[in-house]
Amino acid sequence: TQFLTKVQGMPKQIEAALSHKIGDFLWNSHRSHPVGLDRLQRPLSEGGINLLDIKARNQTIDITWLSTYMNLSPTCPTWAFTTDIMI
């Protein structure tokens, strides 16, 4: 889930394996895929099917984590201070 990915992270090899499994599922495990995943991940208006882009989602999760870490307001989470000490 997105929550677990945010909390635990997702290793690159898992990200790649999931993308591969999605392609195999869509194309019934054919060796070559007639349409690339990058094309299918586009919006409907651009000829895609709005397929989940796991890599982009994980990058977005990383950016939101960084945004929370960089929050310098009084609402800054305690873990950010602990991280600063560890770094």
pLDDT value of residue 1: 60
DSSP letter at 78?
H
Say what percent of the chain tops pLDDT 90. 22
CA distance 68 to 77: 8
Which pLDDT tens digit goes with each residue over 32-73?
778 888 899 999 999 999 998 999 988 988 898 888 888 888
Q: DSSP secondary structure string, 38-77?
A: HHHTS-GGGT------HHHHHHHHHHHHHHHHT--STT--
